[in-house]
Structure formats: structure tokens, C-alpha cells
Homo-oligomer: A and B are copies of this chain.
Amino acid sequence: MHRLQLFIHRSAPVPLRSTSLYSHLWQHARFKTQGPTEQYGLKRFSTAEATVETSDPARMREKTLTMATLNPQVKAVEYAVRGPIVIKAGDIERGLQQGVKQPFTEVIKANIGDAHAMGQQPITFVRQVVALCCFPELLDSPTFPDDAKQRAQRILQDCGGRSLGSYSASQGVECVRKDIADYITHRDQGVPSDWNNIYLTTGASDGIMSILKLLVSGQGRSRTGVMIPIPQYPLYSAAISELEAVRINYYLDEANCWALDIEELQRAYLTAKEHCQPKVLCIINPGNPTGTILLIFMVETVSNLVTLYLLELVYQDNVYSSDCQFHSFKKVLYEMGPEYFNNVELASFHSTSKGYTGECGFRGGYMEVLNMDTQVMAQLVKLLSVRLCPPVSGQAAMDVIVNPPREHEPSYAQFTKEKSSVLDALAHKASLTEQILNSVPGIKCNPVQGAMYAFPQIFIPPPAIQEAQSLSMAPDMLYCLKLLEETGICVVPGSGFGQKEGTYHFRMTILPSPEKLKVLLEKLKEFHLRFLEEYSQPEPQITSQGQHREMSKQPD
């Protein structure tokens, strides 16, 4: 009788089924001939020993992976944009679909910068080019314009086997990298961009993560510190948690339209130096969630002062205020002279998700990496190569964005019309949102100069704060939960982005259609007034005048 040697994986004998398993296995091995190798297998096991014990099969094994053994870096990660309130919104939405009655008929998801989900239309030219790349038989179709075909052919020419299905180089398709370099040169009014410094990425998040990964090192007091704006886009804090870097908050100045405050940068830096090695400064321009566009002198001052590694996340195509202008760090560094332009380490990130295209699902993005040490550059390429390459369809979408139809080309008119329509709508919605929010007692919203979000401050009365504390939740989380439950509107509590102690906010997108946005803002206004009333400080013999007195106490 042949027996098998067992693999003892615990100090206790392996609890197993009865020995009939072994004869079962043996029979399998004996009668399920699969060719010569089978015989090798049989020979291997014919002389081995077996130790078998039976035990309760239901308690056969404990889980390897539990909350106790989970990677603590993963436990530490938080990402509010798709956090608990969004999960709840999903549950409520599914309930509605199944006929559950709510005080509203639909959930309005204003939590995430997903333009198409809120009804924004794709830019025709982008989709034409990507479709042509995807199914080149369409190059013979008369329904596609020549300029789209020409771009598709150019991209495919640089793909292995002329196919979107080939892996590209890890840095991306060459002609796309070159087109991006030209685009940046044009954006910065002639400041030269080298395509060798351009990397395609799987959305901006991927690029940011890769660069941060390179930068994190050291132990204890020399552990890498990363300065992030408060409020921030929570990818930064999530990445810092995951990489076990040290988070260094620098507060934007809400009273001054979320200005970048140089003294505050200095304070944050000097304080951090006592317990870590600050190495990175993260900037988001226009701000997410703030919507504020950096003034040029802020860009200049930061560039001048900083020997940190600069990470710049841009929403450069989302600028609404006519008296604001986007200034890239790169252009400013160039204007400051070669000792800055050739020295300051800067990585700048952009994606197909924003702008006027809103192509989030394609996960297209790029980063421009300036003045990176050459040997480290090789390490970056090595790191990227493990994941092979970003999705080539996303690279194609990115190419169209940086290489749109020119004035003389057939698609120019329609493209320009669609682009203006989207940007005008966004500018209108930015302004509308700011106005309506500021008309609500207890809500104050800084100008939405750019990006896709509003981040109003909300007054939360002390009784609500106490209730939140009793429920072990942030007061703005309580606010947002009640907002969701009473109106179906899903926004993200300010605590998910960071805010000054004692202040409360939420972030909403300005992406719903103007009609839906008006509905949202009206409902929000009604909710907020109800909320203030519900959580007013209780007074004996409250008269209607008393209630008015109470509400008038709240700060503007």
C-alpha cells in the first residue's frame, strides 16, 4: 500500500479527512494517465511515508489573512472620496432600485470628479481617434474625418504590431510622449520640454504614487516627510499611509481664498524637521478640493525657497475665473533662470480625467519629471517596468488631448464647440454653486476659480457636534450622513480632506447638469436650514421670535 508523505504545516498534526483520501489520490494518480510525466509522478511518491490524523473537518484551518494579520499599512489607509458615505449612498441607491421608499427619488452623487457619470458628454474627436486605434478597419470608413484617421495612424505606427493590444514601452508610446512635450512647451509659451522626461501613467494617481515611492526612505527621525496642503486630495494622505512616510500638514488660508501661505509652509517645515526629514512638497493647482488658483507670486516664492522635491498636480484646463490664470511651476522656474530651471526637482502630473474631456475610465495620464538624478531615473524606469505599461487606449486618449484639431483641420469647428460648451458649463456651474451656497445662512464658500469642486465651510451647532461625538463620528460626517438620508445628496465630509481644527466643511463636485445642480443646491439649502433648526441650542419658551434670534446668532 503506497502512502504519501504529508506536509506538516503546523506544530500540531494536520487535521485531515480519513485515510480514504489517500487511496482516492492514489487511484487518481494511477488511473488518470496523462502521459510519461504521470509515471514520473508516481515514482516520486511511491516510497514516501504518511502521517494522518483525523479531526473535525469544519475547523480544518484558521484563516491566514484576518484583521489581526492584515498589513498595518493597509489598515491605515483612508480614502474618503469612495469612503463610508459613498458606500452608504450605493446601498440607498440599490434600495431605491428595488422599490424601497425614500424622501427622494434618486441619489445625486456629487462626491467624485466623474464628469460623464453626471451626464457630461465625451468629446467626439477623442472617441473617434480611440475607436480608430481600437478597430483600424474603421480607417476605411467614410464616416470618420481625416484628421482623426491621421492621428490614429500615427499612434498605431508607434505601437508594436501596429496594435493597441501590444505593451508599449514602460514610459509610454514614443509619439505620445513627444506630443506631450510639444503640448507642454506650448502651454509654457516656449519653455522647452524634453520628451525623455515624459512618462505616461495610469491616471495621475499612478504617477504620484510612483514618485512618492522613490522618495520614501530612512528610519525614525530621518524618515521622509511629505508636505501636503490642508485641505488636500486624499490620494496624497493615502499614499503616505501606505508608504509609511511622515505626513506634514500645511494649512491653506481659508480667510484669504485658500491662499498658499509662505509663513505657514515655513512653520510646517520647521516643526516637522524635529521628528522627520521633510523632503517633498505637494501642490495642487487649481486646488482640489479648494478650487483656488495659485497666484504667480506664490508659485515664484515657493520655487525660490524650496529645496524639497516638488510634486505638482494640475487641473490646468479647468480655469473659470476670467481674472485668474494658471502658471506652471516649470515656466516660473524657467523665468527665474537656469540655476533654478536646471536644479529644482519637479514632477508634474496631469490626466485625461479632468479638463474638458472627463475621461476618467480610460485611466490616462502623464508626468513630466524635471531634474531627476540620472541614476534614479533608471530606477524609476525599472520600477515602472514591473507593471509593464499604462493602458494604451488611455495613452491614445491622452495624445488627442495634447494634440487636438488645429484651426485648418476638418474637426476643428466641432471640437472647439464641444470644448467651449463643456468649459462654459463648468464655469457657469462653478459660479452658480458659489452664489447659492453663500446665500445660505451658516454656509460660506470661497470662489470656485478652477478645478471641479466646491469646499464650503458649514456651521455645525454645538448640539450636533456633541451628538456626532457620542456616535464616534466627525461632526461633518454626521452632517453629510443626514444630508444623504434626507435628500439623497452624496457629498464628502471635509474631515476626509483635512481642515483646521474646529472648522467643518464638505466637498461637492460642480459636475451635475445645471438643472440637477440647482435642485441639489436648493435641497441642500433647505436641509441646512432644517439642520440648524434641529440642532439649535434649546431655550425655554421658544417663540417664533426666539427661533429667529437663535438663527441670527450663527456666524455668516
Whether B259 pairs with A386 at a CB distance below 8 angstroms is no
Contact of A21 among B82, B304, B361 (CB under 8 A): B304
**Given A9-B307, A65-B345, A65-B376: A205 in contact with B165 (beta carbons within 8 A):** no
Could you tell me how many residues of chain A have their Cβ less than 8 Å away from some Cβ of chain B? 157
Q: Which residues of B contact A79 (CB under 8 A)?
A: 382, 385-386
Whether A82 pairs with B388 at a CB distance below 8 angstroms is yes
Q: Which residues of B contact A69 (CB under 8 A)?
A: 215, 217-218, 279
Q: Which residues of B contact A358 (CB under 8 A)?
A: 165
Whether A256 pairs with B387 at a CB distance below 8 angstroms is no
The 0/1 profile, CB within 8 Å of B marked 1, for residues 313-337 of chain A is 0000000010111000000000011
Whether B160 pairs with A114 at a CB distance below 8 angstroms is yes
Whether A203 pairs with B259 at a CB distance below 8 angstroms is no
CB distance from A382 to the nearest CB of B (A): 6
CB within 8 Å of B: which of A356-379? 357-363, 371-373, 375-376, 379
CA distance A69 to B371 in the complex (A): 15
Whether B74 pairs with A379 at a CB distance below 8 angstroms is yes
Whether A298 pairs with B217 at a CB distance below 8 angstroms is no
CB distance from A283 to the nearest CB of B (A): 14
CA distance A343 to B61 in the complex (A): 7
**Given A4-B262, A114-B167: A295 in contact with B214 (beta carbons within 8 A):** no
Whether A361 pairs with B391 at a CB distance below 8 angstroms is yes
CA distance A392 to B122 in the complex (A): 14
Whether A391 pairs with B388 at a CB distance below 8 angstroms is no
**Given A339-B58, A345-B65: A75 in contact with B131 (beta carbons within 8 A):** no
Q: How many chain copies does the complex carry? A: 2
Check if A5 is an interface residue, CB within 8 A of chain B. yes
Interface centre among A58, A120, A344, A394 (most CB of B within 10 A): A394
CB within 8 Å of B: which of A225-264? 235, 238-239, 242, 253, 255-257, 259, 261-263
Whether A307 pairs with B66 at a CB distance below 8 angstroms is no
CA distance A228 to B450 in the complex (A): 49
**Given A34-B295, A127-B135, A295-B38: A375 in contact with B67 (beta carbons within 8 A):** yes
CB within 8 Å of B: which of A120-141? 120, 122, 127-128, 130-131, 134-135, 138, 141
CB distance from A47 to the nearest CB of B (A): 11
CB within 8 Å of B: which of A254-283? 255-257, 259, 261-263, 265-266, 269-270, 279-280
Contact of A161 among B120, B325, B386 (CB under 8 A): B120
Check if A98 is an interface residue, CB within 8 A of chain B. no
Give the nearest-CB partner of A143 in chain B. B141
Whether A28 pairs with B297 at a CB distance below 8 angstroms is yes
Give the nearest-CB partner of A305 in chain B. B7
CB distance from A84 to the nearest CB of B (A): 10
Give the nearest-CB partner of A45 in chain B. B262
Check if A118 is an interface residue, CB within 8 A of chain B. yes
Whether A48 pairs with B263 at a CB distance below 8 angstroms is yes
CB distance from A440 to the nearest CB of B (A): 21
Give the nearest-CB partner of A257 in chain B. B37
Check if A41 is an interface residue, CB within 8 A of chain B. yes
Q: Which residues of B contact A5 (CB under 8 A)?
A: 262-263, 266
Whether A64 pairs with B307 at a CB distance below 8 angstroms is yes
Whether B376 pairs with A389 at a CB distance below 8 angstroms is no
CA distance A391 to B363 in the complex (A): 5
The 0/1 profile, CB within 8 Å of B marked 1, for residues 111-123 of chain A is 0101111111010
Check if A530 is an interface residue, CB within 8 A of chain B. no
Check if A175 is an interface residue, CB within 8 A of chain B. no
Whether B214 pairs with A40 at a CB distance below 8 angstroms is no
Q: Which residues of B contact A75 (CB under 8 A)?
A: 379
Check if A213 is an interface residue, CB within 8 A of chain B. yes
Give the nearest-CB partner of A126 in chain B. B165
Check if A16 is an interface residue, CB within 8 A of chain B. yes
CB distance from A68 to the nearest CB of B (A): 9
Whether A34 pairs with B391 at a CB distance below 8 angstroms is no
Give the nearest-CB partner of A392 in chain B. B361
Interface centre among A114, A242, A336, A390 (most CB of B within 10 A): A114
Check if A473 is an interface residue, CB within 8 A of chain B. no
CA distance A203 to B389 in the complex (A): 10
Check if A519 is an interface residue, CB within 8 A of chain B. no
CB distance from A204 to the nearest CB of B (A): 10
What are 12 contact pairs spanning A and B, CB under 8 A?
A14-B305, A41-B295, A44-B261, A57-B339, A69-B217, A81-B385, A131-B134, A131-B138, A138-B138, A166-B360, A238-B386, A363-B389
A-B CB proximity, top 8 nearest = A117-B160, A361-B392, A131-B135, A57-B339, A82-B385, A116-B163, A40-B256, A116-B161
11 extra interface residue pairs, beta carbon distance < 8 Å, beyond A70-B217, A77-B382, A202-B363: A16-B304, A34-B325, A44-B253, A64-B308, A65-B214, A73-B213, A74-B213, A163-B361, A235-B386, A361-B391, A362-B392
